[in-house]
Amino acid sequence: MSLAADVRRWEDMAVVCARTAERFGRIDAVFANAGVSGDTSFIEGTFNPDDWREMVLTNVLGTAFTARAAMPYLASSGGHLLITGSVAGTVMVPGDLYSATKWAAGALARSIRAEAGQVGVRVTLVQPGLVAAGDRTPGREDDPTLDPDDVARAVLYALTQPRHVDVSEIVVRPLGQDPHR
């Protein structure tokens, strides 16, 4: 089963969750993994407000919409919500809007976890370092990277823990990644 959706649209996320639950009878796990990155600066380079809007709406509002749409189903099944943050959301990256959106994703995960535990839903924030998936921002072309499978194994680790174990956060970065990036 595949469904097209835009995480920035509440209606799309509500429909995806409803149809998924209808098709499979329940939802056990949801991974809010959509994200947009790009080169941003508050001082230098070109500025495209539409690119900035897309980044904030996808990385922050899309994550919130995904979580809200999934939560009734996850509460019903005692399921698991996973949210993609970033190492960039754990350190201060000068002039980087992406970093700010991933700080927000981390705050969302913590806020949702504080509420969701009361209804038996586990919440895991997955914070990968630089992943070899897509273009890299200028100046990072030679930085060490994770393979997408490295992140997938971290996600599977969280999902396969016993029901009473809530892996709150996983930070996974490539060996040798600059600790400030």
Catalytic residue, candidates 80, 85, 89, 98: 98
How far apart CA 98 and CA 131 sit, in angstroms, is 15
Structure-token pair, residue 41: 């600066």
Give the DSSP H or E segment for 55: helix 49-56
How far apart CA 160 and CA 162 sit, in angstroms, is 7
The reply to whether 98 belongs to the active site is yes
Closest CA to 81 of 110, 103, 38, 45: 110
Catalytic residue list: 98
